[in-house]
Amino acid sequence: MGEKRTVSLVVNGTAYEESVETRLTLADFLRHQLGLTGTHLGCEHGVCGACTVLVDGLSVRACLMLAVQAGGADITTVEGIAPSKDRLHPLQEAFRDNHGLQCGFCTPGMLTTLLEFLRNNPSPSEGEVREAISGNLCRCTGYQGIIDAALDAAERLRGQDATARPHGGESP
Amino acid sequence: MTYIGKNQKRLEDGPLLRGLGRFADAISFAGQLHMRVVRAPVAYGRLGRIDIDAAKDLAGVFAVWTAQDIMEIGPIPFRQVTLPGMERFRQYVLARGYVRYVGDPMAVVFADDPYIAEDAADLVTAEIEILAPCLDATGPVGAFEPGVPGEAGVVEKKYGDLSDAFARADHVIELRLKIGRHAGVPLETRGAVATFDPSDNMIRLYGAAKIPHKNRITIAAIIDHPVDRIHLHEGHVGGGFGTRGEVYPEDVLVCLAARKFKRPIKWIEDRRENLVAANHSRQQTHEIRAAVDARGFVLGVDDVFWLDQGAYVRTHGGAVSELTAAMLPGPYVWPAYRSVGHIRLTNKTPCGTYRAPGRFEGSFVRERLMDAIARRLGLDPVEVRRINFIAEDAMPFDRKVDALGTDVILDSGKYEDLLDRLLERVGYHRLKAELRRRRADGEMVGMGFAYFVEKSGLGPHDDVKLILDADGRVEIVTGTASVGQGVETVLAQIGADATGLPIEVFTVTHGQTDRIDHGMGAYASRATTMVGSAVHLAGRKFNLALRQAAADMLQATAEGLAITDGRIHRTDDPSGPAVSLAELGGEYFKAHGAPLTTEATFHAERMGFPYGIHLVVARIAPDTMAIELEKFVIAFDVGKAINPMLIRGQFAGAAAQGIGGALFEEFVYDEWGQPLATNFADYLLPTVFEVPKVEILLREDAPSPLNPLGVKGAGEGGITGTGAAIAAAVDDAIGGFGAIDSLPINPARLHQLVEKLGR
């Protein structure tokens, strides 16, 4: 066993204080120590984007960050996007309505990446959406449904008030 | 309400959107050990002593195995096409005597923690006497081991009189064509978690995919365990594409270790392993000759090809070669034909199937050939295809070859009609003229298309159960699998129409061997045709069974009852007394002690054959040789579309994969057989920048006569013609006149070619 440290952080609105090995990645910490297995690992070398989470509102590859580096951070994972157990976030609804997912493995990273993007750019062009997800690989959809979903979500979000935003929703 | 034909939103999406998917690595058990595979670092060598002492001594390590520890375990058998003499090239789960590719499992470490298992694996060393690897399937036959030639088998498909065809030919056209080595590469890597319960001798394997029922039987046989004491469980699967879900060494090892150690064993593959250990596919070289008459009609085709199988023959046996040879003629008459395929072993990762196996490759070869014939005779590529199509009134058309144990008889098709519709859709002649103008202005831009015949609905049968529970929900229990394609939604749509119940009452169970005895899985574009047809049959019975069960309660006969919006009521009094599904489910269970259940089996003797066309406009950037796909159109006849939205999704996704194989993805090796593409920086999956919007012309003009729904499969047709169509478009763009003879077309190769052509 390697050296251990204690980290305090907030994930999806819940505060945790956990003892972690210093070499444990943030992704493995979220998945196996906190049981939040929605953050998926597709490559573990920062290319595929499936493990993207929001750290203090900014998208980060959880496979390239250590858990100990997240001390004091406010993290949003895919599990924290929906406003409640019965309701989906408009971005999630748009993914469902535009067939923006097939196997669903890249979906958590797509959602977190687009959540950040749409906050910063509420009225994107198709080209801007393409640029936003250019670091996220999808092997099933050919991306078309994801682009359609992102544009649809932007429209839905423009039409809704800000109170329905999820945890960690403040802009950086 | 009719659900078939509707863009029904998916039943699958809720948990996946919330991050609640049960993918393999989400499955854990208390007390589990983590397995890590130690893989061969060299391509070919005689395996000497493996030193496991340092690994065993590491704190947290429970055990280390080499082949010595499991000598009773035989190699992984074939589940498809077996050729004579092929057995000796099967893979043992841990290497014996020799290592034959970089990635060949040599040892496994079991530890309390996955990080420690990986540390320990790094401490395992092996003495290997390095031998010169064979890396070219087209050269002299290599050695599987000294004295054993590395040709695993030869496939031959033929019909008609070839010598007569060549004797009568006005033109003979010969080509040598190559398809590169690439693979399905699902975004989720493989994973396997096994548990063992000594009290009932039960092994359970989680992380199963594609064909759980078949794999159950295979694994039971390999580890000599009673079949009824092993169950496979499919959770969510992060993409299949032919690669995922075959029996691999790791699946066997976790089951074996769980039984031996009486502890849960978990193995999750990392990406580097995935790129060297999971099945590769595709790599073929063809030499093809066509005998053609003066008007462009092909009298006969003679083809020989070499398939670069890699180091072992895995579960598919000779299936990819057989499909290549059997389906290469595509939509054309070709009255005489022969294809001979050599399955050659090389010191690379073993090959299996990848979406449209044999058809991606064969379509590239066939359509490059048809383009070459058109050029030689001065015909438009459209015209040469018209001259050679199998006519609509010749259907069903006996291809006079067999594949996967069934005769290839094209069930229905209006080939020329679909081409006409596509040409009209894109404004072919206007587009062609416009591209000619742009080329004259100095642009490198061109158009190409490829026609292909796909296959679907491989039998022989599938079973389905429909069960009404006491809460009024209806469970569709199947032996199929979900690889992300939306099979739950499609089956629920079919079930809803057949039963007359609303779609919301259905849940769909798949991939659980303890829920239904038989299952054929999800591959070969078979789930909708085969399992969908079985759901249709079981659903009709279910409708009757519901009415029979309600008859007494409503003082009527079954014939006098109808089902509307989940209520069962008298036909002569639709708004009168009615029984709800929940009431009926509860009453039925009370009366019978078991839920109301109907079962059906759908049999199919033969496969159905959908068909389609890919049309591409490609523009090449002169400074970088980057290829931009300006236009990408797929025309496809699916017989009957159950859910057009999902079919479009299948096509768009498959097209993206085809673009990868045509332009970016390639498993390259150095001269010692070291793989050079072992991460996503070197193995290039298409990103959103490389994938254009795919236009889809979805047709239902030729329903299949082979099933009650008229459906044909849609899982593979989005990829089949991509390589051929992109090659033709790039060729047209550079004025190559057939110069594009291999895939993938990467910028470096294109640059050399353009230099050579003096463009």
- Per-position DSSP letters for B375-417, written without gaps between them: HHHT--HHHHHHHHBPPGGG-SEEEEEEETTEEEEE----HHH
- What's B387's domain CATH number? 3.30.365.10
Buried b (16+ CB within 10 A) or exposed e, B24-60: bbbbebeebbbbbbbbbbbbbbebeebebeebeebee
- Residue A65: alpha-carbon gap to chain centroid: 14
Distance CA A114, CA A95 (A): 11
Best of A144, A148, A152 to substitute, by most chain B Cβ atoms within 10 angstroms, is A144
Decide if B539 contacts B499 (C-beta within 8 A).
yes
B541 by Cβ neighbours in 10 Å (0-12 / 13-18 / 19+) ranks as middle
Query: Quick one: closest CA in B to A142, which residue?
Result: B653
Comparing CA positions, the residue from A108, A102, A21, A32 lying closest to residue B17 is A108
pTM for the model stands at: 0.97
Residue window 27-66, chain A: list those with CB within 8 Å of chain B: 31-32, 36-45, 47-48, 50
Distance CA B316, CA B410 (A): 23
Contacts B655 to A, Cβ<8 Å: 142
Going by DSSP bridges, is the β-strand pair B45-51/B98-99 parallel, antiparallel, or unpaired? antiparallel
pLDDT band at B524 (very low <50, low <70, confident <90, very high): confident
Query: Quick one: closest CA in B to A49, which residue?
Result: B187
Query: Quick one: closest CA in A to B485, which residue?
Result: A102
Partner A contacted by B58 (CB < 8 A): no
- Per-position DSSP letters for B340-369, written without gaps between them: EEEEEE-SSPPB---SSTTHHHHHHHHHHH
Contacts B486 to A, Cβ<8 Å: 102
Predicted pLDDT of residue B758: 84
- What's A113's domain CATH number? 1.10.150.120
In the predicted model, is pLDDT for residue A163 greater than 70? no
Decide if B450 contacts B359 (C-beta within 8 A).
no
Contacts B646 to A, Cβ<8 Å: 99
Distance CA A27, CA B682 (A): 23
pLDDT band at B1 (very low <50, low <70, confident <90, very high): low
Is the residue at A107 inside a domain? yes
Question: Rounded mean pLDDT of B424-438?
Answer: 98
In the predicted model, is pLDDT for residue B480 greater than 70? yes
Residue window 508-527, chain B: list those with CB within 8 Å of chain A: none
Partner A contacted by B580 (CB < 8 A): no
Q: Report residue B79 as tokens.
A: 């589940």
In the predicted model, is pLDDT for residue B654 greater than 80? yes
**DSSP 8-state code for residue B472:** S
The helix-helix angle for B722-734 and B359-377 (nearest 10°) equals: 30
Going by DSSP bridges, is the β-strand pair B230-233/B567-570 parallel, antiparallel, or unpaired? unpaired
Is the residue at B391 inside a domain? yes
Predicted pLDDT of residue A172: 35
CA angle B158, B160, B161 (to 5 degrees): 110
Decide if B479 contacts B465 (C-beta within 8 A).
no
Number of domains comprising chain B: 1
Residue appearing with tokens 């394997």: B205
Does one domain contain both A14 and A68?
Answer: yes
Say which residues have a Cβ less than 8 Å from residue B433's Cβ, sequence separation at least 6. none
Contacts B187 to A, Cβ<8 Å: 40, 42, 48, 50, 103, 105-106, 137-140
The tens digit of pLDDT for each residue in A7-17 reads 999 999 999 99
Beta strands in B423-557 (DSSP E): 444-453, 461-468, 474-478, 506-509
The helix-helix angle for B644-659 and A144-158 (nearest 10°) equals: 120
Predicted pLDDT of residue A1: 57
Is the residue at A145 inside a domain? yes
Does one domain contain both A45 and A75?
Answer: yes
In the predicted model, is pLDDT for residue B552 greater than 50? yes
Which domain range does residue B673 map to? Answer: 284-457+606-757
Partner B contacted by A82 (CB < 8 A): yes
Is the residue at A74 inside a domain? yes
Which domain range does residue A59 map to? Answer: 4-80
Is the residue at A40 inside a domain? yes
The tens digit of pLDDT for each residue in B81-100 reads 889 999 999 999 999 999 99
Which of A54, A80, A106 is the last residue in one of the domains? A80
Question: Rounded mean pLDDT of A87-98?
Answer: 98
Which of A80, A111, A130 is the last residue in one of the domains? A80
In the predicted model, is pLDDT for residue B308 greater than 50? yes
In the predicted model, is pLDDT for residue B729 greater than 60? yes
Number of domains comprising chain A: 2
Query: Quick one: closest CA in B to A104, which residue?
Result: B16
The tens digit of pLDDT for each residue in A54-66 reads 999 999 999 999 9
Least confident of A98-102, A108-112, B444-448, B570-574: B570-574
To the nearest whole angstrom, how far is the Cα of A52 from the nearest Cα of chain B?
Answer: 12
Residue window 129-188, chain B: list those with CB within 8 Å of chain A: 185-188
Predicted pLDDT of residue B533: 97
Distance CA B243, CA B59 (A): 35
- A96/B652 CB distance under 8 A: no
Is the residue at B403 inside a domain? yes
Cβ-nearest to A47 among B20, B21, B681? B681
The tens digit of pLDDT for each residue in B314-349 reads 999 999 999 999 999 999 999 999 999 999 999 999
Q: Is the dihedral of CA A71, A74, A75, A80 positive or negative?
A: positive
- Per-position DSSP letters for B573-614, written without gaps between them: -TTS-EEEHHHHHHHHHHHHSS-EEEEEEEE-SS-B--EEEE
- B13/A96 CB distance under 8 A: yes
Predicted pLDDT of residue B458: 87
The tens digit of pLDDT for each residue in B277-291 reads 999 999 999 999 999
Partner B contacted by A24 (CB < 8 A): yes
The tens digit of pLDDT for each residue in B112-159 reads 999 999 999 999 999 999 999 999 999 999 999 999 999 999 999 999
To the nearest whole angstrom, how far is the Cα of B145 from the nearest Cα of chain A?
Answer: 34
Distance CA B133, CA A117 (A): 49
Is the residue at A167 inside a domain? no
Predicted pLDDT of residue A2: 76
Number of H helices, E strands in chain A: 5, 5
Q: Report residue B352 as tokens.
A: 């299996």
Comparing CA positions, the residue from B410, B406, B307, B399 lying closest to residue B358 is B307
Q: Report residue B516 as tokens.
A: 């239904």
Predicted pLDDT of residue A165: 52
- B680/A21 CB distance under 8 A: no
Is the residue at B290 inside a domain? yes
Distance CA B505, CA A165 (A): 32
To the nearest whole angstrom, how far is the Cα of B17 from the nearest Cα of chain A?
Answer: 6
Strand partners, B158: B338
Distance CA B72, CA B463 (A): 35
Contacts B18 to A, Cβ<8 Å: 38, 78-79, 81-82, 88, 92
Is the residue at A169 inside a domain? no
User: Please, what is the average pLDDT of chain B?
Assistant: 97
Percentage above 70 pLDDT, chain A? 92
B431 by Cβ neighbours in 10 Å (0-12 / 13-18 / 19+) ranks as middle
**DSSP 8-state code for residue B39:** E
Q: Report residue B65 as tokens.
A: 């195995």
Amino acid letter, B24: A
Predicted pLDDT of residue B621: 96
- What's A9's domain CATH number? 3.10.20.30
Decide if B309 contacts B324 (C-beta within 8 A).
no
Comparing CA positions, the residue from B129, B112, B118, B122 lying closest to residue B42 is B129
Predicted pLDDT of residue A170: 42
- B13/A45 CB distance under 8 A: no
Helices (H), B100-208: 114-123, 162-167
Contacts A101 to B, Cβ<8 Å: 13, 16-17
Cβ-nearest to A143 among B239, B680, B688? B688
- Per-position DSSP letters for B226-256, written without gaps between them: -GGGEEEE----S--TTTTTS--HHHHHHHH
To the nearest whole angstrom, how far is the Cα of A167 from the nearest Cα of chain B?
Answer: 14
Cβ-nearest to B689 among A44, A130, A142? A130
Q: Report residue A97 as tokens.
A: 């309505």
In the predicted model, is pLDDT for residue B558 greater than 70? yes
Partner A contacted by B462 (CB < 8 A): no
Percentage above 90 pLDDT, chain B? 96
To the nearest whole angstrom, how far is the Cα of A145 from the nearest Cα of chain B?
Answer: 7
Distance CA B586, CA B582 (A): 6
Query: Quick one: closest CA in B to A140, which residue?
Result: B653
- B59/A1 CB distance under 8 A: yes
To the nearest whole angstrom, how far is the Cα of A161 from the nearest Cα of chain B?
Answer: 22
CA torsion B134→B140→B143→B149, rounded to 10°?
A: 150
Query: Quick one: closest CA in B to A136, which residue?
Result: B687
Predicted pLDDT of residue A161: 54
Does one domain contain both A66 and A108?
Answer: no
Partner A contacted by B379 (CB < 8 A): no
Q: Report residue B631 as tokens.
A: 């236009």
Contacts B649 to A, Cβ<8 Å: 99, 102, 140-142, 145
* Alpha-carbon distances of B101 from A88, B620, B641, rounded to whole Å: 47, 37, 43
In the predicted model, is pLDDT for residue B565 greater than 90? no
Partner A contacted by B238 (CB < 8 A): yes
Predicted pLDDT of residue B589: 94
Buried b (16+ CB within 10 A) or exposed e, B319-355: bbbbbbbbbbbbbbbbbbbbbbbbbbbbbbbbbbbbb
Q: Report residue B605 as tokens.
A: 């003797």
Contacts A36 to B, Cβ<8 Å: 19
Query: Quick one: closest CA in B to A24, which residue?
Result: B115
Percentage above 90 pLDDT, chain A? 91
Does one domain contain both A71 and A14?
Answer: yes
Does one domain contain both A103 and A126?
Answer: yes
Cβ-nearest to A92 among B17, B241, B651? B17
Predicted pLDDT of residue A169: 43
Predicted pLDDT of residue A168: 43
Predicted pLDDT of residue A171: 39
In the predicted model, is pLDDT for residue A164 greater than 80? no
- A134/B649 CB distance under 8 A: no
- B18/A79 CB distance under 8 A: yes
Is the residue at B63 inside a domain? no
Query: Quick one: closest CA in A to B678, which residue?
Result: A43
Comparing CA positions, the residue from B576, B550, B580, B583 lying closest to residue B565 is B580
In the predicted model, is pLDDT for residue B353 greater than 90? yes
